[in-house]
Amino acid sequence: MIFFDILLTLICICILVLASLFLLEVAIGAFSINRARVSENKDLSDDFIVLMPAHNEALIIEETLAALRADLGHLKKVYVIADNCSDNTADIARSCGAQVIERNDSSRRGKGYALSKGIEDTRPQPEGIIIVLDADCYVEKSALPKLAAAVKKYDRPVQANYQLTRNSEKLSARISQFAWRVKNYLRPSGLAFLGLPCQLMGTGMAFQRAHFSGIQLGTDNIVEDMQLGIDLAVKRRSAKFLPEINVWSPMAATEQSAVTQRTRWEHGHLSTIFNVFPRTFMRAVKRRDLNLLTVGLDIAIPPVSLLLLVVLINAPLTFLYTAVGGSAPLLLSLLNLSIVCVALLLAWFIVGRGLIDSSDLLKIFPFFLKKLTIYIRFFMRKPQKDWVRTDRA
């Protein structure tokens, strides 16, 4: 039994590290969340263009561009990258007054390829700042000039506060929105309060053109934003989170498309943890790079649903193993469960009370259990590797 004692102890220690990091980010985010808005940046800059990758977005592109025109006054700076489109996305974008870049290469599909094409084709343009927006993304008033000014001020990429709006009052939609707020608002707010970088979120991102020097964008990575954040941190260009600048997108239109979207995100995240995190961590330690270490450790924290499932499964298994004579660290496994539950309760108190009633808290656990199939597919060596468009209709 000695082998299993050691194995379970190591597993519990690994879980303890991840759970503690999760609690730390949530706690600091909770402490800082109101203070982060005190020093709101009101500087504006018009030295930017917008790149908007769009794959078969004919149903929504006109509405998105109309909202941008209302804010900017025109769409001369907006470049829609009609990527492998089989509909009239490009024609609609042109009729709205946007600039259009078309890319047709069915063997290379994904947002990374579209961004690479957009950056290359707009190289002759004089604007020095590139802002990336998704085709379903809306921005608050003056968000784009503020992002451009922030890039110049901090001389590094910046990430807006990217949130999801729900189209349903179902508990599953509200829980998904809560989990999103924790990952993309509460935790990054804590890191920003400490002066540390955040992950990129795919939209509401702004860069200087020079930031892309030496970066390979044209890949089929299904979480290209996460990989881009790592690549930039390796080049000492990690992103700064700006919680006071808001952008938002609607949730997936149907439950099936939501599952498809979550599978892509979470399989891509797990693949990054196993394939990219180890060398990122070692590189950060070797060169004593706190920003790179922060990005790596933040990515190492698994999706909250998986983290909760792990501690929920680990605690009873450790108890059973101890009951049959093993000496596994039962107290450590219970500590892990307690840490994750405390972190989730704190997160709910700060960013979830308006979404989930206290009477619904226990219903969170069955919701996360339903996601078990997503993780089983990954660990059964059937991870999603291909980019799949999210249905927005």
pLDDT by residue (tens digit) across 345-379? 999 999 999 999 988 888 787 777 777 888 888 88
How far is residue 188's CA from residue 196's CA, in Å, rounded to a whole number?
Answer: 9
Residue 38 — very low, low, confident or very high, per pLDDT cuts 50/70/90?
very low
Q: List the domain range (segments joined by +) for residue 75.
A: 46-170+194-251
Mean pLDDT of 152-166: 96
Is residue 37's pLDDT more than 70?
no
* Tokens describing residue 117: 């094409």
Q: What is the pLDDT of residue 385?
A: 57
Who has greater pLDDT, 98 or 381? Answer: 98
What does 183-206 look like in DSSP terms, one character per residue?
IIIIHHHHHHHTT--B---SSSEE
Mean pLDDT of 41-66: 94
Tell whether 260 is covered by a domain: no
Pairing type for strands 205-208 and 158-165 reads antiparallel
Is residue 388's pLDDT more than 60?
no
CB of 119 within 8 A of CB of 130? Answer: yes
Pairing type for strands 240-250 and 138-139 reads antiparallel
How far is residue 197's CA from residue 158's CA, in Å, rounded to a whole number?
Answer: 9
Mean pLDDT of 135-144: 96
Rounded to whole angstroms, what are the CA distances from 29 to 189, 233, 293, 352? Answer: 5, 21, 18, 13
Percentage of residues in the chain with pLDDT exceeding 70?
94
Q: What is the pLDDT of residue 48?
A: 98
Rounded to whole angstroms, what are the CA distances from 317 to 18, 284, 331, 353? Answer: 19, 35, 12, 32
Mean pLDDT of 220-245: 95
Q: What is the pLDDT of residue 359?
A: 84
Tell whether 12 is covered by a domain: no
Is residue 387's pLDDT more than 80?
no
How far is residue 101's CA from residue 114's CA, in Å, rounded to a whole number?
Answer: 9
Is residue 143's pLDDT more than 90?
yes
Tell whether 162 is covered by a domain: yes
Residue 383 — very low, low, confident or very high, per pLDDT cuts 50/70/90?
low
Rounded to whole angstroms, what are the CA distances from 343 to 17, 83, 375? Answer: 14, 41, 22
Which helix (H) or strand (E) covers residue 51, if one does?
strand 48-54
How far is residue 115's CA from residue 171's CA, in Å, rounded to a whole number?
Answer: 35
Tell whether 153 is covered by a domain: yes
CATH number of the domain enclosing 80: 3.90.550.10
Q: What is the pLDDT of residue 3?
A: 80
Q: How many Å from the N-terminal Cα to the C-terminal Cα in the chain?
A: 55
DSSP 391: P
How far is residue 333's CA from residue 354's CA, in Å, rounded to a whole number?
Answer: 31
Tell whether 62 is covered by a domain: yes
Percentage of residues in the chain with pLDDT exceeding 90?
72
| Paired strand residues for 158 | 206, 240
Sheet-wide strand order for 48-54: 99-103, 78-83, 48-54, 129-132, 205-208, 158-165, 240-250, 138-139
How far is residue 88's CA from residue 61's CA, in Å, rounded to a whole number?
Answer: 10
Is residue 98's pLDDT more than 50?
yes
Q: Angle, to 10 degrees, between the axis of helix 290-300 and the axis of helix 277-286? A: 160
Mean pLDDT of 207-215: 95
Is residue 208's pLDDT more than 90?
yes
Is residue 256's pLDDT more than 80?
no
* Tokens describing residue 392: 């927005």
Mean of the per-residue pLDDT values of the chain: 91
Rounded to whole angstroms, what are the CA distances from 144 to 41, 51, 75, 131, 147? Answer: 12, 12, 12, 7, 5
How far is residue 1's CA from residue 18's CA, in Å, rounded to a whole number?
Answer: 26
* Tokens describing residue 15: 């879980």
Q: What is the pLDDT of residue 322?
A: 83
Q: What is the pLDDT of residue 2?
A: 80
Pairing type for strands 78-83 and 99-103 reads parallel
How many residues are present in the chain? Answer: 393
Mean pLDDT of 253-258: 76
| Paired strand residues for 160 | 242
Tell whether 89 is covered by a domain: yes
CB of 243 within 8 A of CB of 380? Answer: no
Residue 381 — very low, low, confident or very high, per pLDDT cuts 50/70/90?
low
Mean pLDDT of 159-169: 92
How far is residue 231's CA from residue 60's CA, in Å, rounded to a whole number?
Answer: 31
C-alpha closest to that of 15 among 334, 385, 262, 296: 334
Residue 167 — very low, low, confident or very high, per pLDDT cuts 50/70/90?
confident
Tell whether 276 is covered by a domain: no
Least confident of 20-34, 293-307, 375-389: 375-389
| Paired strand residues for 49 | 130
Tell whether 322 is covered by a domain: no
How far is residue 260's CA from residue 255's CA, in Å, rounded to a whole number?
Answer: 9
How far is residue 217's CA from residue 206's CA, in Å, rounded to a whole number?
Answer: 15
Mean pLDDT of 194-220: 95
Domains contained in the chain, number: 1
Q: In this predicted model, what pLDDT tens digit does every residue of 297-334 receive, in sequence order?
A: 999 999 999 999 999 999 998 888 888 776 668 889 99
